[in-house]
């Protein structure tokens, strides 16, 4: 009888151990899925902010709120991603380029422009937003690529300089002297 009780106890211990292992495994999987869902929501929010710039006419309504939404969604994504060095700088360079192109569109618009002229004026903003959307989709699917981010950032910064030089505008500041890094 004592042997039977010992065997039952050993089996109970084995079943409890396997059950605990399975519960912990499912818990880890659920936590990973939860983190993935949060990250997916951040990517979606940024993509939504970009999509709101495609087909947008800054001569018809203010561009500031849409660019603010882009910045807010960018910050939220950057804060969620770990190990994605360079994505913050690239997204800020893209936002600056979007603001620059928006200014160009507003200054090119003239009262009495035909529909074709308006569409032609809007094309650089729509093309920029579409390219940004495609690049975001690419990074989401392939993951972090520091070299590609650096090239895209450099490209955006070069376009900002070229547009400002072409129009004789002063370049936007690259830093804020009132903001100092924390030690």
Q: Range with the lowest mean pLDDT among 22-36, 40-54, 109-123, 148-162?
A: 22-36
Model confidence, pTM: 0.80
Q: How far apart are CA 58 and CA 102, in angstroms?
A: 6
* Residue-level pLDDT at 183: 67
- Going from N- to C-terminal start, the domains of the chain cover 37-167
* Residue-level pLDDT at 33: 76
* Residue-level pLDDT at 25: 76
**pLDDT tens per residue, range 121-139:** 999 999 999 999 999 999 9
* Residue-level pLDDT at 138: 96
**pLDDT tens per residue, range 102-128:** 999 999 988 888 989 988 999 999 999
**CA dist list (Å): 5 to 32, 101, 172:** 40, 80, 80
**CA dist list (Å): 28 to 16, 18, 22, 37, 102:** 18, 15, 10, 14, 46
**pLDDT tens per residue, range 40-98:** 889 999 999 999 999 888 988 888 899 999 999 999 999 989 899 999 999 999 999 99
Higher pLDDT, 108 or 15: 108
């Amino acid at each position: 009888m004592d042997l039977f009780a010992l065997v039952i106890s050993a089996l109970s211990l084995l079943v409890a151990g396997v059950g605990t292992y399975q519960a912990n495994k499912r818990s880890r999987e659920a936590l990973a899925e939860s983190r993935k869902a949060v990250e997916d929501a951040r990517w979606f929010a940024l993509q939504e902010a970009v999509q709101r710039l495609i087909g947008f006419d800054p001569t018809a309504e203010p561009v500031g709120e849409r660019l603010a939404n882009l910045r807010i969604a960018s910050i939220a994504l950057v804060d969620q991603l770990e190990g994605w060095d360079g994505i913050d700088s690239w997204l800020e360079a893209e936002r600056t380029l979007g603001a620059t192109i928006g200014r160009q569109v507003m200054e090119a618009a003239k009262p009495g422009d035909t529909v074709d002229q308006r569409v032609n004026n809007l094309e650089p903003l729509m093309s920029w937003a579409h390219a940004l959307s495609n690049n975001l989709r690419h990074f989401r699917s392939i993951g972090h690529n520091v070299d590609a981010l650096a090239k895209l950032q450099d490209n955006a910064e070069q376009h900002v300089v070229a547009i400002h030089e072409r129009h004789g505008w002063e370049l936007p500041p690259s830093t804020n002297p009132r903001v100092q890094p924390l030690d």
